[in-house]
Every structure is written in C-alpha cells, then in structure tokens.
C-alpha cells in the first residue's frame, strides 16, 4: 500500500525547499549522560554489508572463499532455525559481495525454506522472488537491500506472531556469522583499520541483554541458545571499548575461532 501523501511528494519537497528555512544550529556538544534513558533508542544493528564494503575499500577480499560449502540445514528445532536463518541471510550478503548470482539465488531459496519452517514464509516470499530476479540482473545494491528487507520482514513477522525471542535469535545468528566472516577476512590480511571494525561494544552488550531477557524459559535453556549466550559473554572482553585500540591479530583470530565454532553448531544444530 502506498500513502496518498506520496502522490504529492515531489510537489511537497519543492514547496518545502521554497519555504523559508528555519535556522537550526545544533550544539557542538551534548551531555549524553543527562539524556533521559526513555529518550534513547536501542542500538541500530548494522547489516553485514555495512562492514563488508569497508573491507572492500581496504583491500580485495576473496569473498567466494568466505562462502561455506553449504549453509547448513534445519533440524526442526525452532531456535536452531531462527539462528540459522540469520546466519544464512548473512551468507546472502557475502554472496552479494562475491557477486555470485547462482549462490545468491540458492541462498534466497534457502531463506524461504527456513522461513517456512517457522511459519513466516509469507513474509519473505516476495523478497525471495525479488532476490532471484535482481541477482539474475546483477543489480547488487538492490539485492543487498532485499536481504536487508528479508531480515526485517522475518523479524517483524515473528514479532507479530508473538515470537520476539525468535526474532532476537535471527539477529544474533546474523551477527555471529557476519563477525566470523569479518574476522576471517581481517586475519588473512591483518590491518588495524580492518580490525577496528570489531569495535562494536554496544552491539555486543545489546545482544547479551537480549539473550538474558529471553521470555521463554525453555528456549533459554536450549543447548544451542545457551552456547550462543556463552559465546557472547566470552567475546565481551575481546571486543574493544570505544576508547580502546583495534584488536591485535591474535585477538582477531581468537574471535574468528569462537564465532566459527558457534556457526558450526548453528548450521549442524549440535548445541
């Protein structure tokens, strides 16, 4: 559905441009500690490609090498499917970086299959078709946007079904897989600039809180979920604070090993 106001949007923009501008000069500094907590939104979780395109600028990663032989399969366990769905969407972003049309299309289908397993197929059906069409046309920025949209649609559909917990697992699964890919690329050709991309303490704290706050006690006790929670806790000392330097090569490798082990557990379902 399209808002009626959009029909007049070009005219509105023009009218606004002609209107007298209100001078808005933001302060050079603000005291964020005095900002009411209720007025601060949770951290925006970046999509993997926000990181991957920086790596492209720093060098020429072989993205095809970062793609797994297969993205794993559903065991039927809903927590595993949700984590895997996030990880597979992250694989989609990697396949876009690799500009691998066939792999992108396969991943688009896999997303659909996994979404079906947790009753949100309808939410991503159009996305899956669009991913296929745009991958065939090699419209990479648009494919990237479709994967971003698929992630949001899956999360939204789960929340509408009252499955906020699963929605969180999708996000965490995507972040873990994205971090594994990031550390793999950086450890193969270490640079402080690349390693600095791991400076994500708020994101990590956000996920730790989300996992601690899972509402479903049974889900919380799932071995795979417990394993992911343990991973996040173990990463916390390794992910730099805002004022800290970029992690060194050993730390990057350690993060890669930890995330890689967990991704293996997610893709096989062996918590």
Partner 1 sequence: MKTQSSRRRLSGSGFCALALVLGFLALAPSHATVDDALSFAYEAAAPYVKQGFTVREDAWGGDLGVKDQKAVTAQLFRGNEYWFWTGTDVRNAVVSVSIYDSTGKLVQSEAWQRGRFSGARVTPQRSGTYYAIVTIHKSPAERTHWALVYGYR
**Least distance between partner 1 and beta carbon 14 (Å):** 10
Which lies closer to partner 1 via its Cβ, residue 224 or residue 235? 235
Q: Residue 212: helix, strand or coil by DSSP?
A: helix
Q: Given the rule CB under 8 A, which residues bind partner 1?
A: 1-7, 9-10, 12-13, 16-17, 19, 21-22, 24, 26-32, 35-36, 38-47, 49-51, 53-54, 57-58, 123, 126-127, 141, 144-145, 148-149, 151-153, 155-156, 159, 193, 196-203, 242
- Of the candidates 158, 177, 175, 176, the one whose C-alpha atom is nearest the C-alpha of residue 167 is 158
Q: How far apart are CA 87 and CA 181, in angstroms?
A: 11
Q: How far is the CB of 198 from partner 1 (least distance, A)?
A: 8
Of 91, 116, 113, nearest to 103 by C-alpha is 91
Q: CA torsion 104→108→111→112, rounded to 10°?
A: -160
- Least separation in angstroms between residue 17's CB and partner 1 is 6
Residues whose CB is less than 8 angstroms from the CB of residue 115 and which lie 6 or more positions away in sequence, other chains included: 85, 121, 123, 124, 154
The smaller minimum CB distance to partner 1, of residues 76 and 243, is found at: 243
Cβ at position 49, least distance to partner 1 in Å: 7
Smaller CB separation from partner 1, 100 or 140: 140
Least Cβ distance, residue 177 to partner 1 (angstroms): 17
Instruction: Say how far apart CA 254 and CA 259 lie, in whole Å.
Output: 9
Distance CA 216, CA 241 (A): 31
Instruction: Specify the residue, 149 or 223, whose C-beta has the smaller distance to partner 1.
Output: 149
Q: Which is nearer to partner 1, 153 or 222 (CB)?
A: 153
């Amino acid at each position: 559905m399209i808002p009626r106001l959009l029909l007049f949007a070009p005219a509105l923009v023009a009218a606004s441009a002609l209107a007298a501008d209100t001078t808005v000069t933001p302060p050079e500094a603000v005291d964020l500690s005095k900002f009411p907590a209720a007025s601060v939104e949770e951290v925006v979780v970046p999509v993997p490609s926000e990181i991957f395109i920086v790596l492209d600028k720093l060098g020429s990663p072989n993205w095809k090498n970062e793609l797994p032989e297969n993205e794993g399969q559903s065991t039927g366990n809903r927590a595993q499917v949700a984590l895997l769905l996030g990880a597979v969407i992250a694989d989609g972003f990697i396949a876009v970086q690799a500009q691998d049309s066939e792999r992108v299309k396969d991943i688009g289908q896999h997303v659909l299959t996994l979404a079906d397993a947790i009753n949100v197929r309808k939410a991503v059906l159009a996305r899956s078709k669009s991913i296929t069409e745009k991958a065939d046309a090699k419209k990479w920025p648009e494919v990237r946007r479709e994967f971003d949209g698929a992630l949001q649609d899956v999360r939204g559909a789960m929340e509408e079904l009252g499955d906020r917990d699963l929605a969180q697992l999708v996000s965490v699964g995507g972040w873990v897989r994205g971090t594994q890919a990031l550390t793999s690329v950086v450890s193969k050709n270490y640079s402080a600039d690349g390693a600095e991309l791991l400076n994500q303490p708020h994101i990590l704290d956000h996920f730790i809180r989300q996992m601690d706050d899972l509402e479903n006690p049974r889900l919380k006790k799932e071995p795979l979920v417990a394993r992911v929670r343990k991973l996040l806790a173990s990463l916390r000392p390794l992910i730099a604070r805002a004022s800290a330097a970029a992690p060194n090569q050993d730390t990057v490798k350690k993060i890669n090993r930890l995330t890689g082990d967990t991704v293996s557990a997610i893709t096989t379902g062996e918590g």
